[in-house]
């Protein structure tokens, strides 16, 4: 059921977030995250969330990410884990899947080009 626009969005419980195993390995980037002062439910979808509500919530979360001093670190964390839920580093889970697919294609293209270059140089 759609919520009337004048009611606040309902938020779901936030799944446990994975943090680096040791602070000295990855650094304490998460302690500087802008989202630490915002409602965490803004970044994670409630179950059975209507599409319009999801889009509005994701856009609000992305606005928080846009002003975050550690957005790049957060995004890389989400891509390297990979985080299956929520908005991380200004990207939704679907956007992160696309970014990962692009990275894989780029890596394959670079590897193929490097191999072709070595073969041409040897020939």
Any domain includes 73 = yes
Per-residue burial over 26-42, b if 16 or more Cβ lie within 10 Å, else e, is: eeebbeebbbeeeebbb
Residues in the chain: 123
Is 35 annotated as belonging to a binding site?
yes
Name the residue range of residue 56's domain.
38-119
d(CA 33, CA 69): 7
Tell me how far apart the 2 most distant CA atoms of the chain are, in Å.
Answer: 70
- Alpha helices (H) along the chain: 23-26, 51-66, 71-80, 93-122
* Residue 67 labeled ligand binder: no
The per-residue pLDDT for range 70-121, each reduced to its tens digit, is 999 999 999 998 788 999 999 999 999 999 999 989 989 888 888 877 777 7
Q: 47 phi and psi, to 5 degrees?
A: -65, 145
User: Number of structural domains, the chain?
Assistant: 1
pLDDT digits (tens, 9 = 90+) for 4-44: 444 444 434 444 444 433 344 555 788 889 888 877 789 99
Domain-located, residue 11: no
Q: Is residue 18, in this structure, part of any structural domain at all?
A: no
Q: Check the annotation: does 5 bind a ligand.
A: no
């Amino acid at each position: 059921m759609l919520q009337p626009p004048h009611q606040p969005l309902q938020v779901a419980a936030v799944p446990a977030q994975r943090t680096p195993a040791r602070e000295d390995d990855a650094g304490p980037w998460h302690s500087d995250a802008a989202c630490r002062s915002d409602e965490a439910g803004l970044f994670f979808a409630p179950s059975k969330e209507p599409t319009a509500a999801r889009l509005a919530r994701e856009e609000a979360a992305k606005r928080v990410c846009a002003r975050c001093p550690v957005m790049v670190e957060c995004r890389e964390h989400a891509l390297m884990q990979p985080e299956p839920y929520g908005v991380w580093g200004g990207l939704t889970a679907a956007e992160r899947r696309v970014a990962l697919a692009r990275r894989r294609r780029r890596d394959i293209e670079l590897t193929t080009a490097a191999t072709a270059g070595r073969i041409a140089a040897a020939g």
